[in-house]
Protein backbone atom coordinates (compact mmCIF):
# COMPACT_ATOMS: atom_id res chain seq x y z
CA UNK A 1 0.00 0.00 0.00
CA UNK A 2 1.42 3.38 -0.99
CA UNK A 3 1.80 6.16 1.59
CA UNK A 4 -0.64 9.04 1.70
CA UNK A 5 0.90 11.99 -0.17
CA UNK A 6 2.47 14.57 2.13
CA UNK A 7 1.27 18.16 2.17
CA UNK A 8 4.43 19.12 0.24
CA UNK A 9 3.64 16.60 -2.48
CA UNK A 10 0.06 17.83 -2.65
CA UNK A 11 1.19 21.47 -2.85
CA UNK A 12 3.71 20.65 -5.57
CA UNK A 13 1.01 18.79 -7.50
CA UNK A 14 -1.16 21.91 -7.51
CA UNK A 15 -3.91 20.62 -5.24
CA UNK A 16 -6.08 23.17 -3.44
CA UNK A 17 -4.77 23.25 0.13
CA UNK A 18 -6.50 24.88 3.10
CA UNK A 19 -4.46 26.22 6.02
CA UNK A 20 -6.06 27.35 9.28
CA UNK A 21 -4.55 29.82 11.71
CA UNK A 22 -4.93 28.41 15.22
CA UNK A 23 -3.91 29.40 18.72
CA UNK A 24 -0.79 27.83 20.13
CA UNK A 25 -2.81 27.36 23.32
CA UNK A 26 -5.61 25.43 21.57
CA UNK A 27 -6.80 22.29 23.31
CA UNK A 28 -6.67 18.87 21.68
CA UNK A 29 -10.43 19.04 21.20
CA UNK A 30 -10.17 22.40 19.45
CA UNK A 31 -7.39 21.08 17.22
CA UNK A 32 -9.41 17.98 16.37
CA UNK A 33 -12.28 20.24 15.29
CA UNK A 34 -9.93 22.39 13.18
CA UNK A 35 -8.25 19.33 11.65
CA UNK A 36 -11.54 18.30 10.10
CA UNK A 37 -11.63 21.57 8.13
CA UNK A 38 -8.08 22.09 6.88
CA UNK A 39 -4.90 20.43 5.64
CA UNK A 40 -2.36 22.25 7.82
CA UNK A 41 -2.27 24.38 10.97
CA UNK A 42 -0.58 27.78 10.92
CA UNK A 43 0.93 29.63 13.87
CA UNK A 44 2.65 33.00 13.85
CA UNK A 45 5.95 33.83 15.47
CA UNK A 46 6.35 37.22 13.78
CA UNK A 47 3.58 39.16 15.47
CA UNK A 48 2.45 36.80 18.26
CA UNK A 49 4.22 35.83 21.50
CA UNK A 50 5.53 32.28 21.85
CA UNK A 51 8.14 30.26 23.66
CA UNK A 52 10.15 27.33 22.36
CA UNK A 53 8.46 25.08 24.92
CA UNK A 54 5.01 26.15 23.69
CA UNK A 55 6.02 25.51 20.08
CA UNK A 56 7.28 22.01 20.90
CA UNK A 57 4.10 21.18 22.84
CA UNK A 58 1.86 22.50 20.07
CA UNK A 59 3.68 20.62 17.32
CA UNK A 60 3.51 17.42 19.36
CA UNK A 61 -0.27 17.77 19.70
CA UNK A 62 -0.56 18.42 15.97
CA UNK A 63 1.65 15.45 15.07
CA UNK A 64 -0.52 13.19 17.25
CA UNK A 65 -3.39 14.23 14.95
CA UNK A 66 -1.21 13.70 11.86
CA UNK A 67 -1.49 17.42 11.09
CA UNK A 68 1.47 19.41 9.75
CA UNK A 69 2.28 22.81 11.26
CA UNK A 70 3.31 25.96 9.42
CA UNK A 71 5.34 28.46 11.45
CA UNK A 72 6.14 32.04 10.40
CA UNK A 73 9.49 33.05 11.85
CA UNK A 74 10.06 36.32 13.68
CA UNK A 75 12.15 38.23 11.16
CA UNK A 76 13.74 38.03 7.73
CA UNK A 77 17.17 38.17 9.32
CA UNK A 78 16.42 35.04 11.36
CA UNK A 79 16.75 32.69 8.39
CA UNK A 80 19.96 31.37 9.96
CA UNK A 81 17.74 30.04 12.78
CA UNK A 82 15.40 28.06 10.52
CA UNK A 83 17.05 24.76 11.40
CA UNK A 84 16.57 25.58 15.08
CA UNK A 85 12.87 26.30 14.57
CA UNK A 86 12.46 23.07 12.62
CA UNK A 87 14.09 21.12 15.44
CA UNK A 88 11.07 22.15 17.54
CA UNK A 89 8.55 20.37 15.32
CA UNK A 90 7.09 22.44 12.44
CA UNK A 91 6.68 21.01 8.95
CA UNK A 92 6.57 24.34 7.11
CA UNK A 93 8.42 27.62 7.55
CA UNK A 94 7.30 31.04 6.30
CA UNK A 95 10.01 33.68 5.90
CA UNK A 96 8.45 37.16 6.10
CA UNK A 97 9.47 40.39 4.35
CA UNK A 98 11.64 38.71 1.73
CA UNK A 99 13.29 41.23 -0.60
CA UNK A 100 16.65 39.76 -1.62
CA UNK A 101 17.86 36.55 -3.23
CA UNK A 102 20.49 36.23 -0.48
CA UNK A 103 17.68 35.82 2.06
CA UNK A 104 16.19 32.98 0.04
CA UNK A 105 19.58 31.32 -0.40
CA UNK A 106 20.16 31.38 3.36
CA UNK A 107 16.64 30.05 4.04
CA UNK A 108 17.24 27.12 1.68
CA UNK A 109 20.64 26.47 3.25
CA UNK A 110 19.25 26.07 6.76
CA UNK A 111 15.93 24.45 5.81
CA UNK A 112 17.31 21.40 4.00
CA UNK A 113 19.81 18.76 5.05
CA UNK A 114 22.84 17.93 2.90
CA UNK A 115 23.22 17.53 0.05
CA UNK A 116 20.39 19.93 -0.70
CA UNK A 117 21.24 22.29 2.14
CA UNK A 118 23.45 22.67 5.20
CA UNK A 119 20.99 22.14 8.07
CA UNK A 120 22.63 20.78 11.19
CA UNK A 121 21.64 17.35 12.51
CA UNK A 122 19.94 17.06 15.91
CA UNK A 123 16.78 17.56 17.93
CA UNK A 124 14.38 15.07 19.51
CA UNK A 125 11.23 17.12 18.81
CA UNK A 126 11.60 17.12 15.02
CA UNK A 127 8.61 16.11 12.95
CA UNK A 128 8.74 12.39 12.14
CA UNK A 129 12.05 11.69 13.92
CA UNK A 130 10.63 8.86 16.06
CA UNK A 131 9.78 6.87 12.94
CA UNK A 132 13.09 7.56 11.18
CA UNK A 133 15.99 7.71 13.66
CA UNK A 134 18.61 6.92 11.01
CA UNK A 135 20.42 10.08 9.98
CA UNK A 136 20.54 9.54 6.23
CA UNK A 137 17.04 8.11 6.05
CA UNK A 138 15.57 11.02 7.96
CA UNK A 139 17.50 13.64 6.00
CA UNK A 140 16.32 12.21 2.68
CA UNK A 141 12.75 12.00 3.98
CA UNK A 142 12.78 15.55 5.31
CA UNK A 143 14.15 17.02 2.10
CA UNK A 144 11.10 15.59 0.32
CA UNK A 145 8.68 16.48 3.11
CA UNK A 146 9.31 19.96 4.54
CA UNK A 147 7.57 23.00 3.02
CA UNK A 148 9.47 26.27 2.53
CA UNK A 149 7.45 29.43 1.91
CA UNK A 150 8.67 32.96 1.24
CA UNK A 151 6.59 36.08 1.80
CA UNK A 152 7.35 39.16 -0.33
CA UNK A 153 5.89 42.32 1.17
CA UNK A 154 7.19 45.01 -1.17
CA UNK A 155 6.58 46.14 -4.73
CA UNK A 156 10.14 45.34 -5.76
CA UNK A 157 9.87 41.82 -4.32
CA UNK A 158 6.66 41.24 -6.25
CA UNK A 159 8.31 42.51 -9.44
CA UNK A 160 11.27 40.17 -8.86
CA UNK A 161 9.25 37.19 -7.62
CA UNK A 162 10.60 34.84 -10.30
CA UNK A 163 14.16 35.42 -9.13
CA UNK A 164 13.18 34.99 -5.48
CA UNK A 165 11.13 31.82 -6.06
CA UNK A 166 14.09 29.49 -6.42
CA UNK A 167 13.57 25.77 -7.19
CA UNK A 168 13.88 24.70 -3.52
CA UNK A 169 11.06 27.06 -2.53
CA UNK A 170 7.59 25.49 -2.44
CA UNK A 171 5.36 28.51 -1.94
CA UNK A 172 5.19 32.27 -2.38
CA UNK A 173 2.67 34.09 -0.23
CA UNK A 174 1.99 37.75 0.62
CA UNK A 175 1.96 40.16 3.54
CA UNK A 176 -1.04 42.26 2.40
CA UNK A 177 -0.75 45.08 4.94
CA UNK A 178 2.97 45.71 4.65
CA UNK A 179 2.63 45.36 0.88
CA UNK A 180 -0.09 48.02 0.96
CA UNK A 181 2.25 50.35 2.88
CA UNK A 182 4.92 49.85 0.23
CA UNK A 183 2.50 50.47 -2.65
CA UNK A 184 1.36 53.70 -0.98
CA UNK A 185 4.89 55.09 -0.77
CA UNK A 186 6.24 53.68 -4.04
CA UNK A 187 6.77 56.18 -6.87
CA UNK A 188 4.40 55.17 -9.68
CA UNK A 189 3.83 51.59 -8.51
CA UNK A 190 3.07 49.09 -11.29
CA UNK A 191 0.49 47.46 -9.00
CA UNK A 192 -2.27 49.30 -7.18
CA UNK A 193 -3.92 46.46 -5.28
CA UNK A 194 -3.18 43.11 -3.69
CA UNK A 195 -5.14 41.38 -6.44
CA UNK A 196 -2.89 42.91 -9.10
CA UNK A 197 0.16 41.65 -7.17
CA UNK A 198 -1.33 38.17 -6.92
CA UNK A 199 -2.10 38.10 -10.64
CA UNK A 200 1.46 39.18 -11.47
CA UNK A 201 3.06 36.54 -9.24
CA UNK A 202 0.80 33.77 -10.56
CA UNK A 203 1.75 34.72 -14.12
CA UNK A 204 5.47 34.97 -13.37
CA UNK A 205 5.58 31.62 -11.56
CA UNK A 206 3.57 29.71 -14.12
CA UNK A 207 5.51 26.60 -15.08
CA UNK A 208 8.14 27.10 -12.36
CA UNK A 209 6.73 24.48 -9.99
CA UNK A 210 6.48 27.07 -7.20
CA UNK A 211 2.91 27.57 -6.03
CA UNK A 212 1.12 30.71 -4.83
CA UNK A 213 -0.50 31.00 -1.42
CA UNK A 214 -2.66 33.72 0.11
CA UNK A 215 -4.29 34.48 3.42
CA UNK A 216 -7.94 35.45 3.00
CA UNK A 217 -10.09 36.89 5.82
CA UNK A 218 -13.36 35.79 4.20
CA UNK A 219 -14.01 32.31 2.81
CA UNK A 220 -16.43 33.90 0.34
CA UNK A 221 -13.35 35.08 -1.60
CA UNK A 222 -11.70 31.66 -1.94
CA UNK A 223 -13.10 30.82 -5.37
CA UNK A 224 -12.06 34.21 -6.75
CA UNK A 225 -8.45 33.55 -5.80
CA UNK A 226 -8.53 29.93 -6.89
CA UNK A 227 -9.67 31.18 -10.29
CA UNK A 228 -6.67 33.55 -10.29
CA UNK A 229 -4.35 30.59 -9.79
CA UNK A 230 -3.84 30.57 -6.01
CA UNK A 231 -3.72 26.96 -4.80
CA UNK A 232 -2.97 27.36 -1.09
CA UNK A 233 -5.33 29.41 1.04
CA UNK A 234 -4.92 30.36 4.69
CA UNK A 235 -8.52 30.92 5.65
CA UNK A 236 -10.78 31.14 8.70
CA UNK A 237 -12.43 28.02 10.00
CA UNK A 238 -16.05 27.51 9.05
pLDDT higher than 90, residue 49: no
Tell me the three state secondary structure of residue 94.
Answer: strand
Distance CA 53, CA 19 (A): 23
Residue at 229 is within a domain? yes
Residue at 193 is within a domain? yes
In the chain the beta strands, taken as DSSP E runs, fall at 17-21, 40-44, 69-72, 92-95, 147-150, 171-172, 211-215, 232-234
Residue at 1 is within a domain? no
Tally the domains of the chain.
1
Residue at 220 is within a domain? yes
Residue at 51 is within a domain? yes
Residue 1 confidence (pLDDT):
47
pLDDT more than 90, % of the chain: 95
Residue at 2 is within a domain? no
- The model's pLDDT over 80-115, given as tens digits with 9 standing for 90+, comes to 999 999 999 999 999 999 999 999 999 999 999 999
Which of 92, 70, 144 has the alpha carbon at shortest distance from 113?
144
Tell me the three state secondary structure of residue 213.
Answer: strand
Which structural domain, as residue segments, surrounds residue 120? 7-234
Residue at 181 is within a domain? yes
The CATH number given to whatever domain includes residue 185 is 3.20.20.60
Which of 77, 88, 28, 42 has the alpha carbon at shortest distance from 232?
42
For the full predicted model, state whether its pTM sits above 0.85. yes
Amino acid sequence: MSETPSVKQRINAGEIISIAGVSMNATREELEHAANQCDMFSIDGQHSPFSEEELVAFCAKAEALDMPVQFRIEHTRHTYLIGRYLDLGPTAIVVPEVREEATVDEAIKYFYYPQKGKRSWGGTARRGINKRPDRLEYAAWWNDYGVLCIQPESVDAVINCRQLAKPAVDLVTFGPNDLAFDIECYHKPPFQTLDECVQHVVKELDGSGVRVALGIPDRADRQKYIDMGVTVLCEPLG
